[in-house]
Chains A and B, each alone.
Chain A
């Protein structure tokens, strides 16, 4: 069981590369951007695992992206590796500052405060026309790697994927650490965690910072891929979409968000092509269905499949005994 996370991570990366080479070329760019956004979704998932819904994760997405924008504009910094590191660092610094304020809050209060901070940044970016270009945003110069420009989009895609893999390794290490388990315990009962002698606020803060780092890196990669940034990165609809994809992917594993985001972006681009007027209804319907019938998200599907496979291998007799007792909370 212990190695399953690493195996899952490798499978996910390989799967994305295979998809990339097989998919029609108009989807290549979309896939690359989805990998960058997947890192923000990873941040949301880390927080949901601790029982916190962040409706303002777009804040760190924008922080990473604008860090890249300003570094290029003021310091003529164009090295992709340095810019990715800068986005990561910016995410950490900002999430530390905001985390100190919001780590005490839970539930709707946490959701509303994160939303409020992201919308304040939005207001600031729109109003700070001189530095940020206002609602028009600003262009990003194509990045270089170790002094040499990227020869093709493929190289930039693999660079993005490498950065994403790094973040997934970090997230896996976190999820296996005492810290990660404590964060999950907070979701089930935070008072007991406190009685066990752990500092709930510190655990939440550490998780918040890791989520901010992942999102900042995602923002930096997105800026380099798209070549343009604007304040919509931190608008609440962007953050809402991250939450949506996080739930759709499932919060049971930290490698799920990457797959979930890629699948979501592809499904959405097809949905937009085929039913331009009804895609929002379809999105809502799918989300409602996931909440009601598949609370573990798409990721839990593979566990179910494995479960059935195991039962089938064992033969029919034991299948009945092994059937998991379905518990349902008696709340009306």
Chain B
């Protein structure tokens, strides 16, 4: 039982990092980014390459944690503005079907790019994972890395919450999510808000990828499961809220951990079962505000 809960929380931390950016981007830009998982994968690749390089040069091994953040920042800063200005800005306010397809196109391009750059290579960097050793909890050995993962997820969530609710710029972003036209009339520069929000989202996706790089082997195509998981989490939690993403991540994480331990047969589609049951009971997700009916 404790095993399931601890495993579930570890999974949830990963899922939270992965999906909170998606949720924030939707809240502000009103675009569901199907390419979010590809940004996550890019984070994984960049982190794996940088860490390998760092370790090969025999540098300070604990420093690899910093490298993970550097990788995420690189991905966010490099891809965020480019994607937002290059593609997304043309599809604001268009048909949602069209928006989904545009981001699906981005997903295909980014996937193809990864295959072209790193085809048939797999990157393994276990250094950040193994350097700290393990600890025992209730008779089970866990790596310290899990604690760091949980800490990162919680810190990221708190910083994001504080930024959106306590800082001036965060309040501007909130204003834009409530009413674009009025915010614009009040002199808020929407372009800046959009670019920065999307870059934050891309950074968080990259961070999720970078943090998972030491735990898995990074190969082209590993974005796919992540994309589906992230969407399930935000749909369960309700789109556009940090708390929703956190609760959604916990629900999915614990459900997956339960399936791994108790019912391995349904592990493959546990996530879909959970999502379907939640949506059948609460069609808008657990924490979404009721949408305004515009006639």
Are the CB atoms of A292 and B108 closer together than 8 Å? no
Are the CB atoms of A123 and B268 closer together than 8 Å? yes
Chain B residues near A105 (CB-CB < 8 A)? 279, 283
Are the CB atoms of B268 and A108 closer together than 8 Å? no
Neighbour of A116 across the interface among B92, B104, B266, B275, CB < 8 A = B275
Are the CB atoms of A295 and B98 closer together than 8 Å? yes
Are the CB atoms of B276 and A113 closer together than 8 Å? yes
**Chain B contacts with A in 173-216, Cβ cutoff 8 A:** 180, 184, 190-191, 194
- A291–B280 Cα distance when bound, in Å, is 32
Q: Does B159 contact A (CB under 8 A)?
A: no
Are the CB atoms of B180 and A240 closer together than 8 Å? no
- Encode contact with A along B221-232: 1 for CB under 8 Å, 0 otherwise: 000000010011
Instruction: Show 6 residue pairs from A and B whose CB-CB distance is below 8 angstroms, ordered by the A residue.
Output: A53-B97, A108-B235, A284-B112, A292-B102, A331-B92, A332-B184
Given contact pairs A108-B32, A112-B231, A285-B109, A331 touches B102 in the complex (Cβ within 8 A): no
Q: Does B131 contact A (CB under 8 A)?
A: no
- A52–B95 Cα distance when bound, in Å, is 11
Q: Does A104 contact B (CB under 8 A)?
A: yes
Chain A residues near B104 (CB-CB < 8 A)? 240, 243-244, 287
Are the CB atoms of B116 and A236 closer together than 8 Å? no
Neighbour of B280 across the interface among A52, A101, A127, A282, CB < 8 A = A101
Given contact pairs A120-B272, A280-B111, A291 touches B101 in the complex (Cβ within 8 A): yes
Chain B residues near A247 (CB-CB < 8 A)? 98, 101
Q: Would you give the shortest CB distance from A27 to chain B, in whole angstroms?
A: 24
Are the CB atoms of B228 and A115 closer together than 8 Å? yes
Q: Would you give the shortest CB distance from B265 to chain A, in whole angstroms?
A: 6
**Chain A contacts with B in 283-332, Cβ cutoff 8 A:** 283-285, 287-288, 291-292, 295, 329, 331-332
Are the CB atoms of B190 and A332 closer together than 8 Å? yes
Are the CB atoms of A236 and B98 closer together than 8 Å? no
Q: Would you give the shortest CB distance from A214 to chain B, in whole angstroms?
A: 18
Q: A127-B265, A287-B105 are in contact. List 20 more A-B contacts (CB 8 A).
A: A53-B96, A112-B235, A113-B275, A113-B276, A116-B232, A119-B228, A119-B269, A120-B269, A123-B269, A126-B268, A191-B295, A244-B101, A277-B119, A278-B112, A282-B112, A283-B108, A284-B111, A284-B112, A291-B102, A331-B92
